[in-house]
Structure 1
Amino acid sequence: MPTSPPRRGVRAVLAGIAALLLGMAPAAAANAKAPNLTDGSTAVARARVAADVLMSSYDWEKAWFPSSWWNSAVALQTIGDYMQRTGDRRYLPQLDRTFERNKGPFPAGELSTDEIWGNFTSRAIDDGMWWALNWVQAYDLTGKRKYLRMAEKIAEFTEDYWDTTCGGGVWWNAERTYKNAVTNGQWIRLTAALHNRIKGDKYWLTRAQAAWDWYVDSGMINQDYLVNDGLNDDCQNNGQNVWTYNQGLAIGGALELWRATGDPELLSMARRLADAAIEGGLTVDGVLTEWCDALDRTCDDNAKQFKGIFLRYLMDLADTTGDERYRAFIAEQAETIWERDRDAANRLGTRWAGGTSPEHPNVFDWRTQASALSALIADIPVPAPTYSLAATTSPAQPVVMPARTGTTKLRIDVGVSVTGPASKPMKVTVKVEAPDGWAVSPTTGTITLRPKGSARPVSGAFPVEVSIPASAADGHHDVTATVTAEPGLSFSTRSDVLVAHEADFDTGTADELPWLWDADGSQSNGVQNRFADGHRYFVYKFPFPADTTSARVVLTIDNQYVVEVSPDAEQWTTVLREDRWITDGSNKADQVIDLTPFLGPDKAAYVRVSDSFPEDGWGGRVYHVTATASADER
């Protein structure tokens, strides 16, 4: 068990105080010639930007992240990790609303999963435990015992699925068809966590120890200390994929049980499991890589979130041991994600090393966002810096369709957010740069913000006008903004301006994103596949040139669709509707829509796709979009 630190001299105490103020470990503060404030502060700022993007996908009405039940639990726990690590408490209402809104029963399909039996449980035993681990974390964050009681209820439910088949272990599902690594890794972590939080507990400690002993003896941890997926019908290691989340849960389970028992072998095992993963077992060129991250494969909605779970528990190991090897590995993941796996809208993809291919593009959605966010959170030092400075641009991915002559004006707002002591204001300097031949006004300026601590970042905006000449080449152009402030803070952001004379893109690709004005709750499960079920929709915006006199759009579309158009995204006119009950795509066709009557004063047109039979889940699906405009010769 950890022991109390020895008494320190005055110099060491002062170094520790400096570390608290500057967000550095005491040893680092003592040895540093000059405090490097920006490292920890930038880590906080990056995590805040990415967390805000993730929470933009949270559905307040249903109190979850759309279309995935267990992934929602993991995403919410990630936000809890973020709040606990940084002190930013803005998302506590969403945490509690999810608890209160979803603790009852739900019919099958209501939350895009099996029937929910109440208390976040269902036939998928592992799904319930993702929620239990989330509620343990919520208890740690808030101290509210209702969260811990819920985690214990889920554990009591789960215990009924432990039996003597294969000598022990928890079944993966209520049908008792599979004993696997994920369910039993969760069970160890959960039962040990309950023991460590319930005063005087012996019951859950006994369960945790028995679960660990069985897990280690089961053979799922192979000779290389990598965790295969589960057991076959003969109760032997089935040799299936070594997924990162199974490796992470094994580390997390060993750590939590070590806290309960002080057994040094548990901490040693956690290290061996981590070393096996990061020293090549689950990495490519130093970057954590899932089997399905290869350019000729695509990760499904489950695997998109696995790497973040590994990072959560590697963060725990790094914090517990202080081992610089783990800290360095985490820092490399965070830096790689930020530099190679992030778009201008600060969306984080599934391939942390970057890379894409036409058939298997790098995917950006809320699941990949939550996963990569875990790496950014893990990179934040403990304690987190008091000061931080972040910036974003809006719009982050604007489209400009220039007229034949003159310039096209584009407004970009540079958003700035800060944390810091409430004792004095923070003056932020903004500098904006555009491509050669473009004009920005103003190019520099300042914003003065008054921080109120870390619990709620304070925000402001710096608007600029960008003038794009008619001669601007089609393609992507960066407008960059750098913000600076004392003490030694700096952060850079950009708008990725797409100049295009027509729209021509497959859905489900990066080429679609600049045109996707409002994704709402629509989904995209691959190239040429965006759909909106139920009462969801998606909207494309076409900012046609100022000299446009006619325009049209061609949608390759099928299933049960409604297509509406608007000049202002407020007044909508239905132009297409499929009134037949079609669920097999048999009505797939190119539908041509004349947008000329619907051009707004600024020549923009909006196209919205939704579901003509919202009760059955086979809403409009779009494969390809082409939009063109013409101008009368004068």
Structure 2
Amino acid sequence: MPRRIRLVLIALAVVVGLQPVAAVQASPPPQASVAAGSTDTRAADESATAVARARVATEVLLDSYDEQKAWFPSSWWNSAVALQIIGDYMERTGDRSYLDVLDHSFETNKGPFPAGERSTDEIYGNFTSRAIDDAGWWALNWVTAYDLTGDQKYLDMAGTIADFMHGFWDPSTCGGGIWWNEERTYKNAVTNGQWIRLTAELHNRIPGDTAWLSRSREAWDWYAASGLINSDGLVNDGLTDACANNGDTVWSYNQGLGIGAALELYRATGDAELLAAARRLADAALGSDALTTEGVLTESCDPLGRTCDDNQKQFKGIFMRYLTELADTTGDARYAQFVDRQAATIWANDRDSAERLGLRWSGVGTAASPNVFDWRTQASALSALIADVPQDAPSRSLSATMSPTQLVVMPSPGATSSARTDVEVAATSEGRRPVRADVRVSGPRGWTVDPARSRVRLVPPGDGRPARASIPLDVTVPANTPDGSYPLTVTVTARPGLSYTTRVTIQVASTIDFDAGSTQELAWLWDAGGSGLSHVGSRFADGTSHFVYRFPFPAEATSAEATLTIDNQYVVQVGPDGESWTTVLTEDEPIRDSSNKADHTLDLTPHLGPDKAVYIQVTDAFPEDGWGGGVYHVAAEFGTS
């Protein structure tokens, strides 16, 4: 699956002076020499690795960014949180590569949108809607953008959203608090945690302010006395109509917002009791079975047999954002150790062969209850990786990624097969000091990789952005290799002490048969194109998004066909090269209820390319209304004459 968003951003960086590579050589560099047992050196190497992991995870998240709509597919408030996490990455590491993503999202989405275009609700403009908490997430994101850039427009927008939210502060019910929605049906923890945090942030950034500080103090006093925090120090979801704690689920993001609200107001006032309150909320979370399992942050919907919806997938990352701030502020080793534990288990257990990060940070999953991987789970887990980067982030780092991360070979009987992938090496260093990296590749026994070893010299621009180099790899698969997944491992090293390992999976397959959203789909998904996964098990393309499957049939194939289970408003196109397309299937009616869900068989024979590959693209037949085609299942086969 090509990382098109990331490659566009790399190209922009080159234009402004990034020198990605001066040479790629076949000979290895001298081995690095690091003093054994050096604690300082070991800590520096671990910090550099933390930066590299966060960078790679950020790049994977951006693979799902829809450049046309300037958001992450089909999730309005979730997009705000994901963008803030990208801002957190830049703030933590010093890498400013993605400022244009934040600005593009701001300029594209600041206007009004009809219901169904960005949210099921109408967007009034200035990132506001009937869902008051949705507006709050956007406001918090724009404060982060202001902190990164100093651009006043972001802070002004946060203030505009806060003015809108203030209209829903209502002391006539429960003595105060912000309503959750325009209909004024519910006072809950998330909206009020946001409100305290946002008003304190505005005060801390507006010279001479008193109004926002007064509102923040009032809101905290109400929040602390409201009953939202139960006797165990955990934050329940909201209040009853009688203004009592409703006992609803303790979600990690509510706990995190409580920590973040108290902490930001502490920064505004210096009131030690606020810092103590933030610590009590954190301690309650870390000591509770409701939010942790064997030291790993766990949502109540995470365990096997349960399902987290698209909102809940992002809750843990919000908690980690604010716990990180508390760890930074207090220097408390317990919080730092908890952060380290989350990052370590995610990287070791919750990462698939495409470097995607999943829902269950412990990595647990079964066939009946698999771990889930999508951009929302990526954004959430990324917060834990960012948290693991020290406040004083190292200037040196080294990482590597593969493109595509999944390769498919459909071999001819008795013949060797070939595959092509690229290794991209990225490095930062002090100033413009060159980084000389050794790249080594290993594959299964009997396979050939060319080159198996090479050198790259990278010259970072000295401003925190990484320099990058791409190395093409040609892989030969032996004849009669059984169907299965085969790893290719790449290790890059640079002196002194930098090392990073990545991988690509080569799928050898004689048949094509998979469900959308499954782990099997990933091998065939050539371009996700801003598409999303629905809760009913389809991959869908709304508006200007699309997705493309690639089927590399063997050399002897003379005919081929594919059967797609598809519904709603689809256009299906087929082509031989991923660039030229012939429309073969279209839904002419604006169907939104899946009533046209059916199997459709496509003749792929006229579209077999010179290399016998065929590409199938799905787009939206009615892009203006947000109900694009959804594919549930795909099967394909070929014939020989």
Q: Establish whether residue 371 from structure 1 lines up as the match of residue 380 from structure 2.
A: yes
1:546-557 alignment runs, 5 A limit: 546-557=555-566
Distance 2:268 2:545 in 1: 47
Q: Establish whether residue 83 from structure 1 lines up as the match of residue 90 from structure 2.
A: yes
Distance 1:601 1:340 in 2: 41
Give SS of 1:219's match.
coil
1:50 aligned residue:
57
Q: Establish whether residue 146 from structure 1 lines up as the match of residue 146 from structure 2.
A: no
Among 179, 183, 201, the alignment partner of 2:209 is 201
Answer whether contact 1:37 1:489 (CA < 8 A) is retained: no
Distance 2:145 2:586 in 1: 45
TM-score relative to the length of structure 1: 0.92
Deviation at 1:117, TM superposition (A): 2.1
Distance 2:517 2:72 in 1: 19
Q: Establish whether residue 277 from structure 1 lines up as the match of residue 285 from structure 2.
A: yes
Q: Establish whether residue 95 from structure 1 lines up as the match of residue 102 from structure 2.
A: yes
1:145-174 deviation per Cα after TM superposition (whole angstroms, max 9, x unaligned)? 222222122222211111121011110011
1:536/1:140 CA distance change after superposition, 3 Å: closer
2:27 aligned residue:
none
Distance 1:631 1:402 in 2: 13
Give SS of 1:465's match.
strand
Deviation at 1:455, TM superposition (A): 2.7
Deviation at 1:550, TM superposition (A): 2.3
2:144 aligned residue:
137
Q: Establish whether residue 617 from structure 1 lines up as the match of residue 617 from structure 2.
A: no
1:25 aligned residue:
none
RCO (CA 8 Å, sep 6+): is it higher in 1 or 2?
Answer: 2
Distance 1:501 1:101 in 2: 44
Give SS of 2:617's match.
strand
Give unpaired runs (5+ residues) of structure 1: 1-30
Q: State which drifts further: 237-246 or 58-67.
A: 58-67
Answer whether contact 1:528 1:624 (CA < 8 A) is retained: no
1:589/1:59 CA distance change after superposition, 3 Å: closer
Q: Establish whether residue 41 from structure 1 lines up as the match of residue 67 from structure 2.
A: no
Distance 2:336 2:56 in 1: 21
1:408-448 deviation per Cα after TM superposition (whole angstroms, max 9, x unaligned)? 11112111000002343211000100011211122111111
1:155-196 deviation per Cα after TM superposition (whole angstroms, max 9, x unaligned)? 222111111210111100111100000000001111111122
Structure 1 residue identity aligned to 2:97: R
Among 282, 291, 294, the alignment partner of 2:303 is 294
Give SS of 2:436's match.
strand
1:215 aligned residue:
223
1:439-518 alignment runs, 5 A limit: 439-518=448-527
Distance 1:83 1:451 in 2: 16
Answer whether contact 1:402 1:469 (CA < 8 A) is retained: no
2:248 aligned residue:
240
Structure 1 residue identity aligned to 2:157: M
Among 103, 110, 125, the alignment partner of 2:132 is 125
Structure 2 residue identity aligned to 1:136: V
Distance 1:35 1:596 in 2: 57
Distance 1:214 1:595 in 2: 64
Answer whether contact 2:65 2:73 (CA < 8 A) is retained: yes
Give SS of 1:456's match.
coil
Q: Establish whether residue 169 from structure 1 lines up as the match of residue 155 from structure 2.
A: no
Give SS of 2:168's match.
coil
Distance 1:73 1:592 in 2: 39
Answer whether contact 2:84 2:144 (CA < 8 A) is retained: yes
1:529-568 alignment runs, 5 A limit: 529-568=538-577
Answer whether contact 2:546 2:617 (CA < 8 A) is retained: yes
2:272 aligned residue:
264
1:218/1:321 CA distance change after superposition, 3 Å: same
Structure 1 residue identity aligned to 2:594: G
Q: Establish whether residue 435 from structure 1 lines up as the match of residue 447 from structure 2.
A: no
1:185 aligned residue:
193
Give SS of 1:495's match.
strand
1:157/1:528 CA distance change after superposition, 3 Å: closer
Q: Establish whether residue 397 from structure 1 lines up as the match of residue 406 from structure 2.
A: yes
Deviation at 1:571, TM superposition (A): 2.1
Q: State which drifts further: 72-81 or 616-625.
A: 616-625
1:142/1:585 CA distance change after superposition, 3 Å: closer
Distance 2:538 2:66 in 1: 22
Deviation at 1:385, TM superposition (A): 0.2
1:306 aligned residue:
315
Distance 2:620 2:79 in 1: 24
Structure 2 residue identity aligned to 1:167: G
1:322 aligned residue:
331
Answer whether contact 1:121 1:128 (CA < 8 A) is retained: yes
1:620/1:99 CA distance change after superposition, 3 Å: closer
1:227-249 deviation per Cα after TM superposition (whole angstroms, max 9, x unaligned)? 00000111111111111100000
Task: Quote the RMSD (CA, aligned, Å).
Answer: 1.7
1:598-617 alignment runs, 5 A limit: 598-617=607-626
Distance 1:419 1:473 in 2: 41
1:37-70 deviation per Cα after TM superposition (whole angstroms, max 9, x unaligned)? 2100011011111111222222333222221111
Alignment length, in residue pairs?
A: 602
1:557/1:95 CA distance change after superposition, 3 Å: closer
1:387-417 deviation per Cα after TM superposition (whole angstroms, max 9, x unaligned)? 0000011121111111102211111211100
Give SS of 2:220's match.
helix
Answer whether contact 2:297 2:342 (CA < 8 A) is retained: yes
1:544-576 deviation per Cα after TM superposition (whole angstroms, max 9, x unaligned)? 112222222121223333222111112222222
Deviation at 1:144, TM superposition (A): 2.1
Q: Establish whether residue 419 from structure 1 lines up as the match of residue 428 from structure 2.
A: yes
Deviation at 1:608, TM superposition (A): 1.7
Distance 1:320 1:627 in 2: 56
Q: Establish whether residue 571 from structure 1 lines up as the match of residue 613 from structure 2.
A: no
Distance 1:301 1:528 in 2: 13
Answer whether contact 1:506 1:527 (CA < 8 A) is retained: no
Q: Establish whether residue 585 from structure 1 lines up as the match of residue 607 from structure 2.
A: no
Answer whether contact 2:405 2:504 (CA < 8 A) is retained: yes
Distance 2:125 2:572 in 1: 38
Deviation at 1:325, TM superposition (A): 1.0
1:294/1:263 CA distance change after superposition, 3 Å: same
Structure 2 residue identity aligned to 1:151: A
1:4 aligned residue:
none
Answer whether contact 1:553 1:628 (CA < 8 A) is retained: yes
2:77 aligned residue:
70
Structure 2 residue identity aligned to 1:173: N
Give SS of 2:126's match.
coil
Identity %: 64
1:628 aligned residue:
637
1:579/1:167 CA distance change after superposition, 3 Å: same
Structure 2 residue identity aligned to 1:233: D
1:221-232 alignment runs, 5 A limit: 221-232=229-240
Q: State which drifts further: 455-464 or 480-489.
A: 455-464
Q: State which drifts further: 380-389 or 507-516.
A: 507-516
Give SS of 2:129's match.
coil
Give SS of 1:291's match.
coil
Q: Establish whether residue 347 from structure 1 lines up as the match of residue 356 from structure 2.
A: yes
Give SS of 1:463's match.
strand
TM-score relative to the length of structure 2: 0.91
Among 105, 108, 116, the alignment partner of 2:112 is 105
Answer whether contact 1:387 1:421 (CA < 8 A) is retained: yes
Q: State which drifts further: 446-455 or 108-117.
A: 108-117
